[in-house]
Amino acid sequence: MTATSKTSKSNVPGEKTTTRPVGAQPLPGADLDSTAHIMNRISSQLATQLSLVSLDGRRRPEPPALVLVAHGSRDPRTLRTVHTLVEQVRELRPGLPVHLGHIELNEPLLPDTLASLGTGDAVLVPLLLSRGYHVKRDIPEMAAAARARTLVAGPLGPHPLLVETLHARLVEAGWPTGMDETTRRTSAVVLAAAGSRDPEAAVDTGRTAHLLSQRLGVPVVPAYASAATPTVDTAIRALTARGRDRVAVASYFTAPGLFATQCAEAAPWIAAAPLGTHPAMARLVLHRYDQSLATATTPAPQLASA
């Protein structure tokens, strides 16, 4: 007599169905994976809710919102990268309100994001790598015009977490993790950045180049896609003239775009991807947020407002 089979369906989306003979006992642990997954989700959500409640049962004040300020770009890859970074920040800090605002070109624009916060508290973290006009003028002026009480964090760079990301991107592109002395003497890196007329932007980029050079053990020369010198091509030619014929281009851009593509195309050897959504980037965004709150001269309820 042939035993019939019975199909067991799972209520968990995406989980496979299982088939076993009628009357057979379920295999030990067969349903444990799905149960554990559900319990983990419940525990995570419960922990987030409990973090908002103090020991005496009163609801803790909501922390100031984090507003990630991106420049904006016509390249759809940039917008996708920024949205992914926002989600990474949310995952690292459950319970923290995280919003996005653009200086130009993409929605939501920063003034609209700030308007949606009403008179709430917020820390604006520029997704920019150095000081310059946007950090010094554009963002503070938009913040001052809003009803929300705001702090404006400094740019992401320079910082060791950026060097960690640059190094990882170079290794992904083919930079050797081990290098003999002969190879080291013929290797170099051009740190390709957007460029700015503000001399402090060059200081910040130069500091990052110095930190990366220490990490790699080879010369790292900052170069720019616009508004500053040297250009990437000029920097590559200068290094080649010094006997450095293995020149890599490190992409000091937060996301893919026109400048990053042009700089990569100039690479005579390897070209690294932009910083993008490397895990260190989300950690750095939260570090700038925490740093701004810790160094504020006035408590959060007294944040600057229009």
pLDDT band at 221 (very low <50, low <70, confident <90, very high): very high
C-beta of residue 246 within 8 angstroms of C-beta of residue 188: yes
Buried b or exposed e, range 260-282, using 16+ CB within 10 angstroms: bbebbebbbbbbbbbbbbbebbb
Mean pLDDT over each residue of the chain, to the nearest integer: 85
pLDDT of residue 35: 55
pLDDT band at 118 (very low <50, low <70, confident <90, very high): very high
Dihedral pair phi/psi, residue 220, rounded to 5°: -125, 120
Asked if the model's pLDDT at residue 299 lies above 50, the reply is no
Catalytic residues, by residue number, are 71
pLDDT of residue 61: 80
Could you tell me the pTM of the whole model?
0.79
CA 263 distance to own-chain centroid? 20
pLDDT tens by residue, 160-201: 999 999 999 999 999 999 999 999 999 999 999 999 999 999
pLDDT band at 147 (very low <50, low <70, confident <90, very high): very high
Mean pLDDT on 297-302? 41
pLDDT of residue 56: 56
The dihedral through the CA atoms of 248, 254, 255, 256 has a sign that is negative
